[in-house]
Amino acid sequence: MPPVTLALIVANVVGYLLQTTAPALLGPFALWPLDSAAATAGEVGFAPWQLVTYAFLHGSLLHIGFNMLALYMFGSAVERVFGERRYLVYYFVCVVSAAATQLLVASMMNAVYPTIGASGGVFGLLLAYAIYFPNNRVMLLFPPIPLPARVFVLLYAALELYLGVTGTQEGVAHFAHLGGMAGGYAMLRFWRTRSTAFRRR
């Protein structure tokens, strides 16, 4: 396993173990809406570090299990393409863009609840995997049908948008997932534009 992917998985596992032994960590390190301090009489509120720390906390063993499996499957391949430094930058851009999207959605909906999980970063990695390995087969869980990565990502993004708009699956930050993808796409476009500019010089 590439070193940065391994380090991220270890950090997530450590974060999960810490939160299970000290549940109070969820308060200051989960991602809270910008106006949540006023809504909860100042007990819990937004802090800048939450834009990153929320991604190392998870709601259940199943939650972290799925995220770490996806991080291993897609992150390993993407890290080999990007290299360690660029891969790490890309991952955290996706994490922060997912957080920013969630904050925007929470503000529009006047929602006061914390967000946790590495899914924003994972969805960004999924997008990069589909771009660099578009024809690689990805197996669906339900039903177990293999699909090209690019088709899988398009279908998954459409499903996330549908679930987010309809509110069908409450308790899941669907728009944060899409925000992670959007941040990843913007980062890839930026790198490609800068690379093209350097070549023209």
**Would you state the pLDDT for residue 41?**
46
The average confidence (pLDDT) of the chain is 88
3-class secondary structure for the chain?
CCHHHHHHHHHHHHHHHHHHHCHHHHHHHCECCCCHHHHCCCCCCCCCCHHHHHHHCCCCHHHHHHHHHHHHHHHHHHHHHHCHHHHHHHHHHHHHHHHHHHHHHHHHHCCCCCECCCHHHHHHHHHHHHHHCCCCEEECCCCCCEEEHHHHHHHHHHHHHHHHHHCCCCCCCHHHHHHHHHHHHHHHHHHHHHHHHHHHC
Give CATH for domain 3-200: 1.20.1540.10
Yes or no: say if 95 and 66 are a contact pair by the CB < 8 Å rule: no
Say if pTM beats, i.e. exceeds, 0.85: yes
Answer with the residue of higher pLDDT: 43 or 138: 138
Domain boundary assignment for the chain: 3-200
What value does the mean pLDDT take over residues 96-112? 89
Find the range with the poorest average confidence among 35-39, 94-98, 187-191. Answer: 35-39
Look at residue 159 and tell me whether its pLDDT is greater than 80.
Answer: yes
Yes or no: say if 183 and 126 are a contact pair by the CB < 8 Å rule: no
Answer with the residue of higher pLDDT: 110 or 131: 131
What value does the mean pLDDT take over residues 156-165? 87
User: Which residues lie across from 115 on neighbouring strands?
Assistant: 31
The model's pLDDT over 8-63, given as tens digits with 9 standing for 90+, comes to 999 999 999 999 999 888 889 999 988 765 555 455 788 899 999 999 999 899 99
**Would you state the pLDDT for residue 6?**
97
